[in-house]
Structure 1
C-alpha cells in the first residue's frame, strides 16, 4: 500500500522509524512531508519561529545515503535516525536563531549546541526548526511571546498551553512527530494536556540542562513532546544521560524507558490519587474524564488508593516566589552589553546603567518584567527570610509529602490541568488566574520528581490530560502507567490525536 504524505505524517514516530528501517520510505520524503505540512498550516497555528528546511533535508539525505550504502554505519544508526524533530526556542542550536520568544534575543545565533542538540545531531534526526514559547518560558498560554501567540490545533481561538505551546501545537497539528520542550512548572505537561499530546518532565538532573536558557535553574528540565507514550520513551532515552557540562547532572545509566512503555500490565500497581489535586477549581468535565481513567485502571487490576499531601496547597505560592527569584538572577545577564539586543537611550548616554535600563525596557515583555520585579523584591534585604526563605521551607515539606505518598503508592495520578484550553486573551489581564493553570504540575518541579501527561479524553470537544508522577529516578514507572492508560482508553475509541479537526486549507 502506498503511503501518501498526508497519511505519513499521521504515523507515530516509532512507526515512521520502522518504515525507514524497512526501506518503505525515505527520510527525505518524510522530512519534506512535514515541511510541506508546516507551509500548509503554520500560518494558522504559529508554532514555528524558524524553519530550517535546508538543514533538515540535508540530514535526511545523509541518513538515506547511509542506509542505501549498508554496512556497519547503517547497522549502527540510532532507531530514530531520519525521524524529524522540532526544538523549543529556549534550547540553543548552532546555525539557527535562538530567541527565547523575546525581542531581547531577536536574531541571536548561538555559537554552540546544547547537549541535547548534540545528541540529536549525532543520532541524525532532521531538525525542522525552533518552536514558539512564552518569553523566556514565563507563561502558561504561549500568549507572552514577542512573536505572537501560538494557537491550539483543536480550536484556533484557544491557547495551546505554555510556556511550550509551540512544541505541543506542532506535534498536535502533525507539523512534527517529535519535539523538545522545557518544564519549569508544567511547561511540557500542561500544553500536552490541552493539545491532546504526551508530555514528559524527567527526573531533575537526568537530562542535561546545558544549553537551555535558564529561567529557574533548580526547577528547569528538558523533556520530550510526542503523540504516543512509546515515542516519548524513545526520545527520552536519546536525550538522557550524564553530562559533565551540567553540574546538576545525575551520573547514572539511562534506564530502558521504551521497554517500560511496552509493559502495559498494571495488575498490582498501586496508584495514589492525590487528595489535593482534584475538586474545587477543576472543571466538571475534567474530573469526569479523570474518574473514568481511574475506573479503567482499577478494572485492569491496579490498586487505587488515596494519598494526602497537605503541603501541596501551598505549592503554587511557594513556586511563584522561588521561580521569579531565580529568574531575576538568571536574566541579569541580559544587559545590552555582551550580546543580544542593545538600545541606546534617546539622549545618547552610553553609561552601563542607562544602556541597561533602555535595553531591558524595550527588550523584555510585561510578564518578564513582572517576574523580575517579584523575584528581586523577594530576594531583597529584609524580605528574603519572609518570602524566599519561607518558600524553600514549603518546598522541603512538599518533598516530604511526596516521600510519604510513595510509601503507599508506586505512582501518583491527578488531572494535569484543572481546565481545558481557554480562549486566547481570556486570562491575559489576570496573572493570578493564569498562574492557577499550573496548580497540578508545579509540585513535581519543586520536588524534582518525574511526571507525564497522557491524553485522557475530551470535555466540551477539547482534550483533557491525565498526569502520572513517580519517585525520583523512577521515570520508567510513569511510562508503564502512561502506556497502560493509553492502551485502555484506545480500547473504546481511536487515539485522541487522530481526532484532531482538519485545519482550514490543509490537504
Structure 2
C-alpha cells in the first residue's frame, strides 16, 4: 500500500509522499495521516500484517501474530475516530499506530512464553501495566516478539521458537533481549516498538540493527514503578521500558506515550523535532572507552566500533558541541557484583516439577549457582552495586552527556554465544556489550544512535549517557546526529 500525496500536508508532502510505501513513512508521518483521516487504522494494520506474513518466516522476529485481534482493535480505533471527530475531541497519542510486545509482557488472552520451554504457555489473564497504558493511547498490537529465555542474554535465541535474525544480514543476531522487536522495526514490520532494558536490552539490538534505542532513567516510565525501584535485597532495579525506532523523532513519539506526557504536550517529540544540524547550543560531552568489566575481562574495540565512535565525534562537533576525553574510573568490584545481582533473580523462579530439566543451558547453569549462593553474598553485592551506582552518577554528571561505543564488536553470528558452555557464553556477552549494564545500575537514561555503516552493510553506533531526567535532551542529541550525518 502506498501513501498518496493528495490532501496531505503533514510530515510528508508532495514528492516525498507520492509513491512511498506505508512502512517507509515513519511513525510520526503515519500518525499524521491517521489523524487527518487520510488513512484508516485497519488499512495500516492490514499493511503491516501482510508484511509480517511475508517476511517473518525468514526473520523469526514474531513468535505470535494476533492478526484477527489486531484487525478488531483497528476497527474499534476507526470507530473511535469517527466519534471523536463528531464530538471535536482530541485523538489519543498513538491513535491507530501498530506495534508489538516482547514475549516477556502479559497481554490479556495471549500466551506469554518468557522464551522458556520450562513454563506452561497459557493465555495471560490481564495486561501488563505497560501494555495497558500503551493500548489506552490508541495503539494496535500485532503480536509478540522473540526474546531470549527470561530476557537474560544479549541475543534472541531460545528453545521455544526460531531465533530472531538481523535484517541487515540474516546470518547474524539482532541482539537481545528486545531482538525480535528490533528486527521487526528494522525490517519494516513495525513502525516502532516498546522494549525493555535491564542491561542493554533496548540499546544492544538497536545498535545491531541500525535503530535509535532509548533506555529511560528509572522512574521515567510510570508503569515501571509497579515493580519498585529496588529489588528485595536493595539492589537498584535494573529493568526499564523504552522505545525502539528508526529515527529519533519516532522514538520520541513513543517515549511521550510511555512516559505519560500530559495531553496536548509532546516534550520528547518537541526536543527531537527542534534539532538542527547546528543546534545553537554547546554541550560538554565526555568521551570514554573505559568499561567496568575491564578489570576482569579483556575488552577490545573492533575497528568498526572505533569508526562509529570517531564518526560520532565529528558529527557532534559539527553540531556545535565540545567533545573531550575523560578520565572515568570504575570500581574493580563491579563485574562480580553485577553478575551476582543480574543472575540472582533466577533463584526466585517458581518452577513446576520437572521444569528444571526444560530450562536452556544458560538459565539452568546460572539458576543452580543462584540457588547455592548464600543470602549474605546477595545482600553484599546489592549494597556494593548501589554504591557503584552513586559513583557513576557523580562522575558522569561532570558532563552534559557521556559518549561511549554502543557495542565493542560488530553484530555476532547466530550461535556465537549459545554454541559454548554458559560461562564462556557469559564472558562473550560481556565483551560484546561492555558499556551498557552500568547505565542500568546507575538508573540514568542513555540512547544509542547509528553513526557508521560497514563495507558489509552492517550498522554500528554509539551510546550517549545523560543525567537523570535528560531523556528529551538525549533524543534531541540523537536527532542532531541524524541531521549532521545527512
Report TM bin, short chain: 0.7 to 0.9
Q: Aligned partners of 1:473, 1:12: CA distance in 2, in Å?
A: 26
Q: Which of these residues, 321, 325, 339, is aligned with residue 302 of structure 1?
A: 321
Deviation at 1:136, TM superposition (A): 0.4
Deviation at 1:67, TM superposition (A): 2.6
User: Residue 47 of structure 2 corresponds to which residue in structure 1?
Assistant: 33
User: Residue 248 of structure 1 corresponds to which residue in structure 2?
Assistant: none
User: Residue 505 of structure 1 corresponds to which residue in structure 2?
Assistant: none
Deviation at 1:465, TM superposition (A): 2.0
Q: Which of these residues, 380, 388, 393, is aligned with residue 389 of structure 1?
A: 380
Residues 424-462 of structure 1 deviation map (CA, whole Å, 9 limit, x = unaligned): 112321311123223110110111111111122212421
Residues 436-445 or 278-287, more deviating: 278-287
Matched, 1:402 2:402: no
Matched, 1:445 2:459: no
Matched, 1:260 2:274: no
Deviation at 1:90, TM superposition (A): 0.6
Residues 94-134 of structure 1 deviation map (CA, whole Å, 9 limit, x = unaligned): 02111111123342211111111112221121100010100
Matched, 1:486 2:482: yes
Q: Aligned partners of 1:177, 1:402: CA distance in 2, in Å?
A: 33
Residues 352-385 of structure 1 deviation map (CA, whole Å, 9 limit, x = unaligned): xxx3xx12222x211111221232344x16xx34
* SS state at 2:44 partner: helix
1:461/1:28 CA distance change after superposition, 3 Å? same
Q: Check conservation: 1:309, 1:398, Cα contact below 8 A.
A: no
Matched, 1:467 2:481: no
* SS state at 1:209 partner: helix
Aligned residues: 450
User: Residue 112 of structure 2 corresponds to which residue in structure 1?
Assistant: 98
1:325/1:70 CA distance change after superposition, 3 Å? closer
Q: Check conservation: 2:403, 2:463, Cα contact below 8 A.
A: yes
User: Residue 154 of structure 2 corresponds to which residue in structure 1?
Assistant: 140
Alignment of 1:23-172 (within 5 A): 23-71=37-85, 75-172=89-186
* SS state at 1:75 partner: coil
User: Residue 14 of structure 2 corresponds to which residue in structure 1?
Assistant: none
Structure 2: any 5+ residue segments left out of the alignment?
A: 5-16
* SS state at 1:472 partner: coil
Deviation at 1:157, TM superposition (A): 0.6
User: Residue 494 of structure 1 corresponds to which residue in structure 2?
Assistant: none
Q: Aligned partners of 2:226, 2:60: CA distance in 1, in Å?
A: 24
Deviation at 1:73, TM superposition (A): 5.5
1:400/1:127 CA distance change after superposition, 3 Å? same
Deviation at 1:266, TM superposition (A): 6.0
Structure 1: any 5+ residue segments left out of the alignment?
A: 243-253, 337-354, 492-507
TM-score by length of 2: 0.86
Q: Aligned partners of 1:469, 1:404: CA distance in 2, in Å?
A: 12
Instruction: Kindly report the root-mean-square deviation, in angstroms, between the aligned alpha carbons of the 2 structures.
Output: 2.6
TM-score by length of 1: 0.83
